[in-house]
Amino acid sequence: MTEITVAALQLALSDEVDPNIAAVSELVREAAARGAQVILPPELFEGHYFCQVEDEGLFARARPTASHPAVLAMQKLADELNVCIPTSFFEADGPHHYNSLAMIGPDGKVMGVYRKSHIPDGPGYEEKFYFRPGNTGFKVWPTAAATVGVGICWDQWYPETARAMMLMGAEVLFYPTAIGNEPHDPDLDTSRMWQRAMVGHSVSNVVPVVAANRIGKEGAMTFYGHSFIADERGDYLASFGREETGVLVATIDLDRVKRHRAAFGFFRDRRPDLYGRLAQDI
């Protein structure tokens, strides 16, 4: 039997880099102590979710991968604890800026960088002002326990993201997130939609999904948590509500997942010859 133990972190974040890194590090240590091999913090955990407003001064927060404080801290921690940490961060690459993720391996080295492919633009989520669309393509990484795929927040709404990573060999999908209330519509609660979208990826690809979100109030936004770990049938193995701070941990039997995926036949019955329309503009 081949198993992987995964973790998702949920917490409120300040707008100070060092305290946030310390808080995330404490939860990473807890997850590692509980046996987690791949540990997922939320999206852009180095500070508040700054994309609520368009402010050119906020570009100063971006750093190259090799010198970003969140990446450096998680590299040191991964090496010490012998774990993988998919680390979301605000990346500067020359004059370009990306919403990126460094996949950090258990030796503390960056296995590669994924740049968020789908960039939202709407009230409270003004990401197109800050981030170029990613130019890396989707990414999966082989780890000692499993091949993992990671999408970032808005990527999680797209079935194409999940399916592409599956076709690249992913065995578990991870989604770091920063999502909360909708400033333009106070009566709209997207938390259930958000969960159902990712659980749908789990069911239609027969794959476990790990989602990590932040909580707490930041400016006009209140982030709604609901981080979870779902198995390949979309059933929750562990989950939080809107206010809990802590660590979700679950162990997944990858041999069982593989059997279930084969039995459902979704990949056997695919018809790529009919899907050309999906790659065309509307």
Indicate which residues carry an active-site annotation: 43, 116, 153
- What are φ and ψ of residue 104, in 5° steps? -100, 125
- Residue in the block written with tokens 């789908």: 118
- Residue in the block written with tokens 């046996």: 35
Buried b (16+ CB within 10 A) or exposed e, 54-64: eeeebeebbbe
- CA nearest 260: which of 229, 232, 226, 219? 232
User: Which amino acid is residue 269, in one-letter code?
Assistant: D
- What are φ and ψ of residue 95, in 5° steps? -85, 0
CA gyration radius for the chain?
18
